[in-house]
Structures are given as C-alpha cells and as structure tokens.
Amino acid sequence: MDQQDLRKRVVDSIGTLLPRMINRDVPAMPEETRLFEELGLSSSKTLELLLALEEDLDIHVDVEDIDGASLETISSMAEFVSAHATEIG
C-alpha cells in the first residue's frame, strides 16, 4: 500500500474512532481540526487513538520520532502515521 492510500485510510479511521474515544458525536471534521484545542484530546487519549489506529488498520507505528507538532491536527497525525507505519501480516 502506498503512503497516500494509507494516509487516506488513516484520516477515515480517525473520523470513525474519534467519536467513540471522546464519547460524543462529532460532525464531519476537516483535516485542519486541532486535536487538543478543538476536540479536547489529552496526551493519553491521543496515545489511545494511535493504538486504536494500529489495531483498526493492521499496522504498527514507530512512535520514537513523535512530537507535539505531529499530533496537532488530524492532518498532521495522518501524515505522521502514514510516514512511520509498517503493515502487519
């Protein structure tokens, strides 16, 4: 799977997983949606989201290079995950 295809799958998966993680309905979110400021995610919820993405997409994400900028928006998280993921199986 190429990186662009994976990135799209990550964005779609975030849209599905986020409402469950924050226990509320969320209208369609643009990729510029800020995870901490607009959605109120904590750092632990963000880690939970990364783990849920791994499970949902059957990938492993190397989080050694992660920084705050990588988790600022849906778009930046999708970029990070698609650039640092390896497929499982």
Q: What are the structural domains of the chain?
A: 3-87 (1.10.1200.10)
Mean pLDDT value of segment 1-8? 91
Which pLDDT score, from 0 to 100, does residue 52 have? Answer: 96
State the pTM of this model: 0.91
List, for residues 27-69, the tens digit of each pLDDT value: 888 999 999 999 999 989 999 999 999 999 999 998 888 888 9
80 to 23, 27, 39, 72: CA distances (angstroms): 25, 23, 19, 11
- Cβ atoms 41, 35 nearer than 8 A: yes
- Cβ atoms 19, 26 nearer than 8 A: yes
Which pLDDT score, from 0 to 100, does residue 28 have? Answer: 85
Closest CA to 78 of 31, 23, 45: 31
